[in-house]
Amino acid sequence: MNPSTEPGDGASTDLAPPPRAFLRTLLQPHRHWLHLAWLAGAGAGLATVALAAAVAWSIHLALFGQGAAPAWPWLGAAVLAVLLRHGLQALRDWSGQQLAFAVRADLRQRLIATASRLGPVHLAHRGHSGSWASRYQEQVDALAGYYARYLPALGLTIAVPALLLAAAFSQDWVAGLLLLLSAPLIPVFMALIGMGSEQIHQAQQERQNRLAGHFLDRIRALDLLRRSLALEAAQRDVAEAADGYRRLSMRVLRVAFLSSAVMEFFSAVAIGLVAIYVGFALLGFLEFGPAGELTLFSGLFVLLLAPEYFQPLRQFAQSYHDRAGAIAVGAELSPLLQPPPDTGHPGAALRPASDPTLLRLHNVTVRYEPEIQPALCGVDLDISRGEQTAVVGPSGSGKSTLLALCAGFVQADSGSVAIGADARPFAWIGQRVHLFHGSLRENLLLGAPAHTPDPELRAAMAAAGLRPDDPTLPHGLDTPIGEDSRGLSGGQAQRVAFARALLSGSRLWLLDEPTSALDPQTEDDLLTRLLAHARAREITVLVATHHESVYRRLGRIVRLAEGRLQGDSHV
């Protein structure tokens, strides 16, 4: 989905920073962890040099020492260097993890803030809840490797080899030169392979998505396939698709193995060259340059450094694929998280609670998208406190938009909206009630003051028509409710929503086709209770509906057609 074509919050790809800049802004507040990781990594590099020197020198002393200088203090130094090196490497990894934790926590907070800012109307148009869950979970987690491994490795790929190279040059410039010349080969070959692998990776991702859809389609049509005796063909189909995916996955693996093989090959060749050089120099076969003066110490020292020299490059290569994943995530999340441009249009003004008018809309226009017809157009409407109003009109006439405007879920593009200070919080009951996995008590307490005592909860249930001896609520308030109201009928879920509205103490109830999914009997019972309770408490009620059975119960009927007010009658 292309976010720039989506309505409402003004998020747009042209305003959003490119993925890499986005990843950098996420890093900004937590840079110190990255700096610590780099310092620790550089320290570990120094410890490696010290370790190689201590080991080489103790061996040198043990073989050629003239008794006066025993080798064991140097062995002790080597042990210390090992400990130091491991400690610093652990510190580097740990700071990388801390960085990744901090960035992900931040990003999750921003996602939640964005979702709440968008509100349910715009949110529903930015992908279903599943895609938000995936953004929140998997996509954010996909950034971990980038911050925990890639960025620390990126800073160290040049610094640590440079350090080791300097150490090698200090002992023997020929060995240093051998290492220096072999290093650039590796990134060149890795880049060549990397370019190809990115394409294969992408193809694999696509194929994976398609395979999932392919399979799902056939599962959905299973009944039909069975009846039309096409089951076998479908089976073959799925098997073929899966086999295609398998082959592509093997190609991805081949490329991955190839790239690590290339890496190992070139580092092995370079280390071998250094070893040959050192060996022949020590044997006295080489006459040129510094070879004649090479001692056992400097030869061993250089030889021990050689494998370490390639280690940061190796780590960088391993974490390189983290970068591609992070950039893909950045490209998706960056436009989503942009603050909305300032439309210069203030939100709803607040009216004092003493004013008998709770809601006043003046010449209000609401547009979801610039090019298409507004959802509401030039609407004038006053609603008094305690009034019960039906908003009627055919589907698409703007009823839900009017309610969303009163709720603050959408903003007016022009005109003015003024709303009583006591209209917050409001209660919203829609066609589908959102109940969550948990006990009935937990579901009722959403939106109610914390520590509302059980008797009050039971009273609200009774008011909503949920009897305590209801066989589907065997454990009363402790009855578990499944995800998405599972275990309750539509009518019961709607009654729970009503009880919630009562408990919330809201002075404004916004009901968007609250009974359109219920049978007439349940609808009748629920509406009778609901409206009687609202009347008794002087709660203002707005009901969007196109059912006469609903709107003939209300004192006032506001008619909408294509976003315009068509009639306003008091019964």
Binding residues for ligand ADP, rule: CB under 6 A, are 7, 121-122, 125, 368-369, 375, 393, 395-401, 544
Which of ligand ADP, Mg ion, none interacts with 7 (beta carbon under 5 to 8 A by kind)? ligand ADP
Burial of 503: CB neighbours in 10 Å, binned 0-12, 13-18, 19+: buried
Which partner, ligand ADP, Mg ion, none, binds residue 121 by CB below 5 to 8 Å per kind? ligand ADP
Q: Is the peptide bond before 425 cis (omega within 30 degrees of 0)?
A: yes
Q: Which residues contact 164 (CB under 8 A, 6 or more apart)?
A: 45, 48, 49, 179, 305, 308, 309
CB of 546 to Mg ion, least distance (A): 9
Asked if residue 466 lies in contact with residue 491, where contact means CB atoms within 8 angstroms, the answer is no
**Binding partner of 348, given ligand ADP, Mg ion, none, CB within 5-8 angstroms per partner class:** none
375 binds, among Mg ion, ligand ADP, none (CB under 5 to 8 A by kind): ligand ADP
Q: Which does 443 bind (CB under 5 to 8 A by kind): Mg ion, ligand ADP, none?
A: none
In the bound complex, what is the minimum distance in angstroms from residue 456's beta carbon to ligand ADP?
Answer: 33
Dihedral pair phi/psi, residue 2, rounded to 5°: -90, 110
Minimum CB distance to ligand ADP smaller for 155 or for 398? 398
- CB of 198 or CB of 369, closer to ligand ADP: 369
Considering the complex, what minimum distance in angstroms separates the CB of residue 545 from ligand ADP?
10
**Minimum CB separation from Mg ion for residue 510, in Å?**
12
CB nearer to Mg ion: pick between 278 and 402: 402
Between helices 296-336 and 72-124, what is the axis angle to 10°? 10
Give the gyration radius of the chain's Cα atoms: 35
CB 358 within 8 A of CB 383: yes
The string of DSSP letters for 252-310 reads: HHHHHHHHHHHHHHHHHHHHHHHHHHHHHHHHT---SGGGGG--HHHHHHHHHHHHHHH
d(CA 519, CA 517): 7
Find the shortest distance in angstroms from Cβ 507 to Mg ion.
23
Applying the rule CB under 5 A, the residues between 384 and 413 that interact with Mg ion are 400
In the complex, least distance from residue 121 CB atom to ligand ADP, rounded to whole angstroms: 5
Binding flag, residue 182, Mg ion (CB under 5 A): no
CB-nearer residue toward ligand ADP: 2 or 395: 395
Q: How far is the CB of 20 from ligand ADP (least distance, A)?
A: 31
Pick the closer one to ligand ADP by CB: 204 or 516.
516
Distance CA 517, CA 540 (A): 23
For the bound state, the minimum distance from the C-beta of residue 407 to Mg ion, rounded and expressed in Å, comes to 13
Given CA atoms 195, 198, 204, 209 in this order, what sign does their dihedral have? negative
**Closer to ligand ADP by Cβ: residue 20 or 556:** 556
Rounded Cα–Cα distance for residues 196 and 216 (Å): 31
DSSP result, 167-197: HHHHH-HHHHHHHHHHTTHHHHHHHHHHHHH
Nearer to Mg ion, 501 or 510 (CB): 510
- Helices 296-336 and 231-283, interaxial angle, to 10°? 150
Output 454 or 548, the one with its CB closest to ligand ADP: 548
Residue among 100 and 410 whose Cβ is closer to Mg ion: 410
- Measured from each CB, the residue nearest to Mg ion is 400
Smaller CB separation from ligand ADP, 270 or 417 = 417
Least Cα distance to 447 among 383, 509, 401 occurs for: 509
Least Å from the CB of residue 261 to ligand ADP: 52
Distance CA 156, CA 165 (A): 13
Least gap, CB of 472 to Mg ion (angstroms): 29
- Binding residues for Mg ion, rule: CB under 5 A, are 400
